Every structure is written in C-alpha cells, then in structure tokens.
Amino acid sequence: MSGIISIKGLNKSFAGHTALHNIELNIEKGEFVIIIGPNGAGKTTLLKILETLVRPSSGSVEISGMSLSKSPVQIRKIIGAISHESYLYNDLTVEENLRFYGKMYGLSNNELSLRIQQLLKQMHLEYSYMDRVSTLSRGMKQRLSIARSLIHDPEILLMDEPYTGLDLQSACDFERIILENSKKVTVLMVTHDLDRTYNMCDRVVILRSGKISSDIQRKDINSIEELKNIYSKVFMEEHEK
C-alpha cells in the first residue's frame, strides 16, 4: 500500500557524481521520520527533490497520490518547508511576510487574516507582528519561518537541519510547535541532532553514499545509545571507504 510519500527506484546524478542511488521509501500519513547520515550522503538532495526544487535523474515519486513529474505545482500547495535558511524578507514585517506567502498559496483575505492570527499566537509572535524581520532574533525568525511553512495548512512538512543557529530556549520552542502540529501533518526531518529528535520521531532512515543503509521504526530501537551505535557503524564504514 502506498503512503502519502512513495519513492521508487529514485536516482539523482550531478555531472557524473551519483547523489542518490535506487532509493525506495514509503512514508505513511502522520508519520514523523528523521533522516540521518554523514555529510554528502544525499539527505538534502532527497529533500530538495520532494520540494520539487530538483528533478530526479530517474525513478518515480508520488506525493499524496500525485506524480512529482506531472503535478509539481499541485504538490507544492500541500508541502511546507523549513531549513536553516528562513526564506523571509528582511524589509517586510512579520505580518507582511505571512500575508505574502498566504497570497502566494491562494488564501482568501478572510482565510488569511484568521490563519495569521492563529499562527502568531501559536508562535508567541502576536506582539511582534509589526516588527521588521531584520530586527528579529534567530529564534524569532525560526518561529516565523515555521509559521510561514504552515500558513497554507500543508499535509507534509519537510525540514532540513532546522536546529542550526538556535539557542536552547529557541530549540525548545521549536520542538513544542512542531509536536503541536505533528498530529495533523506528516513530518520528514533531516538532522544531525539525535539527542533532540529521537523522542520526537516514529522512524529513523539512515543514508550512506546516496543509498538507504537502515530504515528502522523507533519502537524497535531500545534506546538512543543503540541508535547512536548503529549510526556510528555507518559513519565508520563511510570513512573507511
């Protein structure tokens, strides 16, 4: 049975270098999946393909029953993306950024005003809505970036190293917000931070040299130490090549 994300025989090459090789991955609706692996394993490339930012060399990808190659515009409407890059406009205010992205996704004025109000409250930004993004702290920008990614109520949330640059309090705020919303969305997160994400996820996928090395349900892992040992073996094998 196909999940909300179904990847079959996915390959991606750049100028003769194979970034992804024969990726087979099925993610069910509502799952929280983390993707880990050494630098250069293909994690970000995989996420960019799912975001429709990079075209695969071969293979098939279906998202919510839609073909990535045939329906990229429709797929973008059901995906939210978060990374260490905020994709925010520094010269616009908090509210103006959210309104811009909401309009881009086709929300009506009434829908958008209600959604902005809800998200500002949830992100604890209700008293900063008139502030320009250039004046915000890193943590506030990340909260606004989450709001941006959720403005259109997406089915899927794709995250690439979202903890980059966050202090402890901002990281805790980020986790609270993601967990509050993870009941409604499918989450796929690329991360190096196992200590923070282990208890949040349902499943761990390990990439090595563009291939899936392990695909494990968290319930089958006895502890974070066991997961770190599994990952360490993958990391050592990569460096011994």
* Number of domains making up the chain: 1
Select from 16, 19, 13 the least CA-distant residue to 211: 19
* Residue 235 counted as domain residue: yes
Q: How far apart are CA 159 and CA 44, in angstroms?
A: 9
* Residue 13 counted as domain residue: yes
The CATH number assigned to the domain holding 46 equals 3.40.50.300
* Structure confidence at residue 206 (pLDDT): 96
* Residue 61 counted as domain residue: yes
CB burial string 48-60: b at 16+ within 10 A, e below: bbbbbebebeebe
Q: How far apart are CA 135 and CA 92, in angstroms?
A: 10
* Structure confidence at residue 238 (pLDDT): 60
- Tell me which amino acid residue 194 is: L
Q: How far apart are CA 241 and CA 135, in angstroms?
A: 46
* Structure confidence at residue 79 (pLDDT): 96
Per-residue pLDDT of the chain (241 residues; tens, 9 = 90+): 478 999 999 999 998 889 999 999 999 999 999 999 998 899 999 999 999 999 999 999 999 999 999 999 999 999 999 987 889 999 999 999 999 999 999 999 999 999 999 999 988 899 999 999 999 998 899 889 989 999 999 999 999 998 887 788 888 888 888 888 777 899 999 999 999 999 999 999 999 999 999 999 999 999 999 999 988 887 676 656 5
Residues in the chain: 241
The torsion angles phi and psi of 33, rounded to 5 degrees, stand at -115, 130
* Residue 210 counted as domain residue: yes
* Residue 171 counted as domain residue: no
Tokens of 168: 């402890």
Q: What angle do CA 11, 17, 18 make, to 5 degrees?
A: 25
Q: Which helix (H) or strand (E) holds 228?
A: helix 224-240
DSSP string, 69-107: TT-HHHHHTTEEEEESS----TTSBHHHHHHHHHHHTT-
Q: How far apart are CA 133 and CA 96, in angstroms?
A: 10
**62-72 confidence digits (pLDDT tens):** 999 999 999 99
The torsion angles phi and psi of 182, rounded to 5 degrees, stand at -70, -15
Contact 173, 125 (CB under 8 A): no
- Tell me which amino acid residue 146 is: I
* Structure confidence at residue 240 (pLDDT): 60
* Structure confidence at residue 22 (pLDDT): 96
**169-186 confidence digits (pLDDT tens):** 888 888 888 888 777 899
Q: How far is CA 115 from CA 30, 34, 76, 125, 165, in A?
A: 22, 28, 19, 13, 27
Q: How far apart are CA 233 and CA 38, in angstroms?
A: 11
* Residue 208 counted as domain residue: yes
Mean pLDDT of the chain: 91
Contact 32, 200 (CB under 8 A): yes
* Residue 35 counted as domain residue: yes
* Residue 51 counted as domain residue: yes
Q: Which domain holds residue 41?
A: 1-78+188-241
Q: pTM of this prediction?
A: 0.91
